[in-house]
Amino acid sequence: MFGRRHTPARTDEHLLLMRAAGLLVARTLAVVSAAVADGVTTLALDRLAEEHIRDHGGRPSFPEVPGYRHTLCTSVNEQIVHGIPGERVLRPGDLLSIDCGAIVADWHGDAAVTVVVGGETAACTEDLALSRATEESLWAGIGALRVGDRLYAVGEAVEASIEAAASRDRRDYGIIEEYVGHTIGREMHLDPQIPNYGVRERGPIVRSGYTGAIEPMITLGSPQTEVLADDWTVVTVDGSRAAHWEHTVAVRDEGLWVLTALDGGAARLAAMGMPFAPVGAD
Ligand code: MG
Ligand code: MG
């Protein structure tokens, strides 16, 4: 994790392939999110995701992680990340994080969203605030990616965003430290990793063509975690609920390209005053 002076970088041709993978992940998450409803099982969502990815020229990447065989991770309420799809029936007000990865032509995309089952009317105010704060911190982290800057500026920006949200929302939020973002390319999890909090080291210098997955995981309580007996599901020790948002992002001399956003990040980046810089037309 430490000691590397520059990040890896991709060619424009490889970024176009990663966009194909990223867009497939974005569309799959849109299809799955639309199917989230009272009475649906997390396994049904997983099957929908697998079918959508295979029908559109890709393959799910999570089954390539040794010991894991599903297309999605579905983490409900106090589950933070790596929840295994199964017979659990979703109920109104459940806070569901959906993490999805796909491969197209050997290149990976990885993204996550958090939704409330039954929508905003079924949600607790604090869960909506948590999810909003987490998504905002993801975009703050994305906005800290700049060619020539240090990679760990991302974690500082995520942390500052969460602190600002905590004071606005008058809540304490916990930033998960044991699970972090990562470099991504022809494999899903590559070094260097990307912490979601400020660290003493400043990290490697970001090169044009760098591709990273930024993925803050935030709780309504303590950031302490434990892994359930299934060896996968990560939960909060205090039982507080958690949210998880993730995007795969390409950093270019000209600006940013959010490979797992349907619009490539154009709208959010414009609102942040950041240049939107796809390869070719997007
Ligand atoms: Mg992911
Ligand atoms: Mg990831």
pLDDT digits (tens, 9 = 90+) for 140-175: 999 999 999 999 999 999 999 999 999 999 999 999
Residues having C-beta closer than 5 Å to ion ligand 2: 110, 213, 215
Spatial contact of 147 and 207, defined as CB atoms under 8 Å apart: yes
User: 247 C-alpha vs ligand 1 centroid, how far in Å?
Assistant: 8
User: 273 C-alpha vs ligand 1 centroid, how far in Å?
Assistant: 26
Which listed ligand is nearest to 102 at the C-alpha? 1
pTM of structure:
0.97
pLDDT at 31: 98
How many other β-carbons are positioned within 10 Å of the β-carbon of residue 232? 18
| Tens of pLDDT, residues 63-120 | 999 999 999 999 999 999 999 999 999 999 999 999 999 999 999 999 999 999 999 9
Residue 4 — very low, low, confident or very high, per pLDDT cuts 50/70/90? Answer: low
Nearest by Cα to 23 from 257, 271, 252, 270: 257
Which listed ligand is nearest to 188 at the C-alpha? 2
User: Is residue 188's pLDDT more than 70?
Assistant: yes
User: 25 C-alpha vs ligand 1 centroid, how far in Å?
Assistant: 10
CA 112, 27, 193, 276 torsion-angle sign: negative
User: Is residue 1's pLDDT more than 50?
Assistant: no
Which listed ligand is nearest to 74 at the C-alpha? 1
Strands (E), the chain: 59-60, 72-76, 79-81, 95-104, 107-116, 174-175, 181-183, 190-194, 210-214, 217-219, 225-227, 234-236, 242-244, 247-252, 255-258
Q: Give the count of alpha carbons within 13 A of 120, CB side only.
A: 3
Residues having C-beta closer than 5 Å to ion ligand 1: 99, 110, 112, 246
pLDDT at 247: 99
User: Is residue 3's pLDDT more than 80?
Assistant: no
| Tens of pLDDT, residues 222-278 | 999 999 999 999 999 999 999 999 999 999 999 999 999 999 999 999 999 999 999
How many other β-carbons are positioned within 10 Å of the β-carbon of residue 69? 11
Tokens for 93? 């007000």
The alpha carbon torsion through 133, 136, 138, 142 (nearest 10 deg) reads -160
Which listed ligand is nearest to 182 at the C-alpha? 2
Spatial contact of 222 and 211, defined as CB atoms under 8 Å apart: no
State percent of the chain over pLDDT 90: 96
The alpha carbon torsion through 204, 205, 206, 211 (nearest 10 deg) reads -10
Residue 6 φ/ψ, nearest 5 degrees = -130, 150
Which listed ligand is nearest to 181 at the C-alpha? 2
User: 117 C-alpha vs ligand 2 centroid, how far in Å?
Assistant: 23
Which listed ligand is nearest to 99 at the C-alpha? 1
User: 264 C-alpha vs ligand 1 centroid, how far in Å?
Assistant: 17
Q: Which whole number is the average pLDDT over 34-43?
A: 98
User: 215 C-alpha vs ligand 2 centroid, how far in Å?
Assistant: 6
Which listed ligand is nearest to 75 at the C-alpha? 1
User: 255 C-alpha vs ligand 1 centroid, how far in Å?
Assistant: 23
User: 181 C-alpha vs ligand 2 centroid, how far in Å?
Assistant: 6
Residue 281 — very low, low, confident or very high, per pLDDT cuts 50/70/90? Answer: confident
Residue 205 to residues 153, 154, 225, 255: CA-CA distances in angstroms?
A: 10, 12, 30, 15
Which listed ligand is nearest to 111 at the C-alpha? 1
